[in-house]
Amino acid sequence: MFDGLVVVADPSNEPQIVIVYSTDSESITKEKNLLALLLGHFTSDITWINSNYLKETDTAEATHLFYYGLSKKQLSKKTMNILESFSGPFIHLGHNVEQMNDTFSFDTINELMYASSIAVPNQINKKIVVEDMPVLLIETEEDLQKEVLITAKKGERTVPLLVKEKNAYYYATTYLFPPTSYLFADFLHELFDTTTHLRRQVLIRIEDIHPRTDAARLEEIADVLDERNIPYLLSVTPMFKNPKTGDEFFLWENQALVNVLQEMQENGASIVLHGYTDQFKQSPTGTGFEFWDKDRNKPISFLNEKKYITERIEKGVQALVDNELYPLAFEVPHYAISQQGYQVLTEYFSTIVGQIQLTDDDWRMMSASPYITALPTLNGMVLIPETAGYIIYDKPLQSIQDVREKIKHIQIVRDGFVGVFFHPFMGGDWLNTLLDELDSMEQVYWFDLKKQKHVVSTDFVHIETNKGNIKVNHIKNSLKPIHQEATDVGKSNHYVIGLLIGVGLMISIILFSIVRFRHSH
């Protein structure tokens, strides 16, 4: 599945997952996306069913059954019978486990503990320090039928977090944010009995390149990366805009920058479209949002959101292609976009880079999987995750330490993917420092986006890549962008007006000179 990007236990027998959930909330978009990020690495066949509407036929084809107890709820006898009669692997997350008397034999405690660390017993390298992770308490003793797979700890108290009993598993939390979810993510490889695992992969993305980017500084970055002979991503925004000053600057107007980008692409870099202007309202490019109303912390609502996103995607792809730069994926500016916005993106891109906004309630509610995953909630769009952060310009040393800690966590997970990004204005020295940190990992493999299958398709162009080759099919013969033509026309008009004014001034000077000459005589 997905040409080696995503792992399944057996490609000819993809797991079929049914997730039954109970909730008091009208929407579980956040919770759905968090679990989908983890499961999408193994299968695209995931069905969600509210426990109120579960029928016997719903689980007939399932290979794995999940119950997601997001809130306390009395389950009906019919629902309980369906869940407890399932013969395949059964995974219960969160609340209502006390009702599963025929499945689990441990005792539940009406108490919540906020853990400070989680670990796999007897494995010293599989421990993660966490911050106030909520854990539902149970009491159990290991025997021939029960095994504690993950523990949680606070102070001197250690409690079960993941317990296996026969062919059923209980995970005593609904909290699936990283890095607390990483041990559970690693356990899923055992659940789905995966036998093939990807090498530990690393990716660096050069971030926020736009028409005002210093070409010489970017060339310095290119030299560092070329010397190390590693593939990387270039996140490019083709138009610079500052509404407060009225400044607009297109990529083609900075030919020195275009030349550097083309050379980097030729030497192995992969281009990622990072919005059209990477700004919104009065904010300048690089500091604002583009597909989210930050002031209201809501989706864009004062205009047609779908039309707005569509136009900017099409302009962005066209602007890059017209400069012989071929985007293979998309990065959402600030990772902020509505759920409807993601659906629009799936019409143009097979692959997205970075992190996922989980809900329309708050743009800051975002996450990423610890491995490459495909999102069933987003029509199977593949996520190349950013998992380890970046160097913050005013806290570089602390940033390196944070990256190091995140790398340590990622290495716990089979198929773990270390994704970082770097701003070119930080310079070559800090880039070398970051790369040294990444190279210090054991058995590191630098991820090359071009070597997998990705598709970018608009009404203007179709781009497809696989095994290192990029195939570009121009659907329309419009190699010069509309905005460039308009700009050229505007410049021509200014030139004509300027010429006429110049001629007029010259004639006035000549006439003035003649009159003055006659007057003097």
Identify whether residues 148 and 263 lie together within a single domain: no
Asked if the structure places residue 490 within a domain, the reply is no
Identify whether residues 293 and 221 lie together within a single domain: yes
Nearest in space to 448 (alpha carbons), one of 146, 225, 211, 276: 225
Q: Read off the CATH number of the domain in which 26 is found.
A: 3.40.50.880
Summary mean pLDDT of the chain: 88
Identify whether residues 172 and 244 lie together within a single domain: no
Share of the chain above pLDDT 90, in %: 72
Identify whether residues 442 and 462 lie together within a single domain: yes
Identify whether residues 184 and 205 lie together within a single domain: no
- 494 has a pLDDT exceeding 90: no
- 74 has a pLDDT exceeding 60: yes
- Candidate from 201-210, 344-353, 442-451, 476-485 with smallest mean pLDDT: 476-485
Mean pLDDT computed over 376-384: 90
Mean pLDDT computed over 371-382: 90
Identify whether residues 186 and 236 lie together within a single domain: no
Identify whether residues 358 and 290 lie together within a single domain: yes
Question: In this predicted structure, what is the pLDDT of residue 483?
Answer: 46
Asked if the structure places residue 142 within a domain, the reply is yes
Asked if the structure places residue 134 within a domain, the reply is yes
Identify whether residues 80 and 210 lie together within a single domain: no
Nearest in space to 307 (alpha carbons), one of 339, 344, 276, 334: 344
Identify whether residues 418 and 344 lie together within a single domain: yes
Identify whether residues 183 and 232 lie together within a single domain: no
Asked if the structure places residue 486 within a domain, the reply is no
Q: Which of these three, 164, 191, 218, is where a domain ends?
A: 191
- 515 has a pLDDT exceeding 50: no
Asked if the structure places residue 501 within a domain, the reply is no
Asked if the structure places residue 482 within a domain, the reply is no
pTM of the model: 0.88
Total structural domains within the chain: 2
Asked if the structure places residue 520 within a domain, the reply is no
Identify whether residues 281 and 179 lie together within a single domain: no
Number of H helices, E strands in the chain: 10, 25
Residue 422 CB contacts under 8 Å (≥ 6 apart), including other chains: 204, 205, 206, 207, 221, 390, 391, 430, 431, 434
Q: Which of these three, 170, 191, 212, is where a domain ends?
A: 191
Joined together, the tokens standing for residue 89 give 């692997």
Q: Which of these three, 136, 170, 191, is where a domain ends?
A: 191
Identify whether residues 126 and 230 lie together within a single domain: no
Asked if the structure places residue 16 within a domain, the reply is yes
Going by their DSSP bridges, the two strands 233-236 and 64-69 should be labelled as: unpaired
- 165 has a pLDDT exceeding 70: yes
Question: In this predicted structure, what is the pLDDT of residue 243?
Answer: 79
Nearest in space to 22 (alpha carbons), one of 58, 60, 53: 53
**Rounded CA Rg of the chain:** 28
> Where in the sequence is the domain holding 305, given as residue range(s)?
201-474
Instruction: List phi, psi (to 5°) of 277.
Output: -125, -10
- 201 has a pLDDT exceeding 90: yes
Q: Read off the CATH number of the domain in which 448 is found.
A: 3.20.20.370
Q: Which of the four pLDDT bands, split at 50, 70 and 90, describes residue 517?
A: very low
Condensed to tens digits (0 to 9), the pLDDT of residues 290-336 reads 999 888 999 988 889 999 999 999 999 999 999 999 999 999 999 99
Q: How far is Cα 390 from Cα 424, in angstroms, rounded to an integer?
A: 12
Question: In this predicted structure, what is the pLDDT of residue 508?
Answer: 57
SS3 per-residue string spanning 4-36 = HCCCCCCCCCCCEEEEEEECCCCCCHHHHHHHH
Residue 253 CB contacts under 8 Å (≥ 6 apart), including other chains: 211
